[in-house]
Amino acid sequence: MLIKDKERFFSRPIVVCICAIFCCVLWGSAFPCVKIGYKLFEIDQSSPASLMLFAGVRFTLAGVFVIAFGCATQKKFLAPKPRNIWRVLVVALFQTAMQYTFFYIGLANNTGVKSSVLNGLGVFFTIIIACFIFRTEKFNLIKLAGCILGFGGVIVLNLDGFSFNFTLLGEGFIIFSGLSSAVAAGFVKVFSKQEDTTALCGYQFLIGGLALIIIGLSFGGRITHIDVGAAFMLIYLAFLSACAFTLQGFLLKYNPVSKVAVFKSTNPLFGALFSAIILKEFDQLLSWFTLLALALVCAGIFIINKFGEIKRKPAQALSKQPAPPSEPQTAPPPPDDDNDANNRISE
């Protein structure tokens, strides 16, 4: 597919909607599936090194999936340009190494429902970082109101009666995971202009995953059990990361960040729903704290993305258009000497 054809395809509203929601369904399923993976692989959830090792194996496999897909579709060996290696390393640091170190440790110390709602803060971080760091968006009072609603949801979610229940390794690390993901989205938007999106996504997964494996093994991380069910769960987790992040990379490349971020409002919904169904966390889902927090987070995201961009009125837009260039004035023709002479004779 030619570049212009890709841009035309991934810029269509219906394609953006379907692809973005599909990504959110995959990401939402990750919350309970990771927790099930802990049990299937018999991972010690109190050992950060073992959690990082498990994450590293998953994302190394995801990188292999993406690179193999790129080689098959482009019919050549896929590799980033040498001048873009540093860009791949930056994305690998924020998208894979940092985000999923925080995510895996935070999820081990939290319920799937609560983690999915807290992870919805990544949408607000994406908007704020796009406005003030990458400067691809404009900040205004509507976006400020949406962010206040979102952070209000986090406060409500962590209220336990009249006490505030918040831990750094639990709720804190899930929030840091969303922050790291937001920074990575900004870099992908910028770097995809200089590098093939599939290569950027595949190699950042591969490098970030290998880094997590090395760190996990260095600090004593262990995976002591594997069977057919565990292997299938690992393959699914790798697939959902490879598919969702690569698809999001194409959406970010050809669309404004806020246009893609709006659909991430469904992440907490899918995450909470899948966690309630698969992990039997219905009590947590049906708690009024969770429902109110979910409503506040989704309302804030909706307000930001529906009303956050102030569109100019047609009259204002016309008034700011440059005036059409005036026609150059032509000098009067030189006097005809013969006619002047005839006029003097007739006088």
- pLDDT for res 62: 96
Indicate the SS3 state at residue 7.
helix
Q: Is the pLDDT of residue 26 over 90?
A: yes
Indicate the SS3 state at residue 76.
coil
- Cβ neighbours around 9 below 10 Å, total: 13
pTM equals: 0.76
Based on its alpha-carbon atoms, the radius of gyration of the chain, rounded to whole angstroms, reads 27
Residue 299 C-alpha from the chain's centroid: 19
- pLDDT for res 48: 92
Task: Give CA–CA dist 168/203, Å, rounded.
Answer: 31
Q: Is the pLDDT of residue 88 over 50?
A: yes
- Cβ neighbours around 293 below 10 Å, total: 26
Taking alpha carbons only, the member of 311, 310, 87, 64 closest to residue 197 is 87
- Cβ neighbours around 113 below 10 Å, total: 28
pLDDT (tens digit, 9 = 90+) per residue, 32-41?
999 999 999 9
Q: Is the pLDDT of residue 308 over 80?
A: no
Range in 25-34, 111-120, 158-167 the model is least confident about:
158-167
Q: Distance of CA 308 to CAs 4, 13, 131, 213, 304, Å? A: 29, 18, 12, 41, 4
- pLDDT for res 112: 82
Residue 16: pLDDT band with limits 50, 70, 90: confident
Buried/exposed code over 308-334 (b: 16+ C-beta within 10 A; e: otherwise): beeeeeeeeeeeeeeeeeeeeeeeeee
- Cβ neighbours around 5 below 10 Å, total: 9
φ/ψ of residue 71, rounded to 5: -65, -40
- pLDDT for res 332: 55
Work out the angle between the directed axes of helices 173-191 and 228-254 (0-180°, nearest 10): 50
Please report the DSSP string for 180-245 in residue order: HHHHHHHHHHHHTTTS-HHHHHHHHHHHHHHHHHHHHHHTT-------HHHHHHHHHHHHHHHHHH
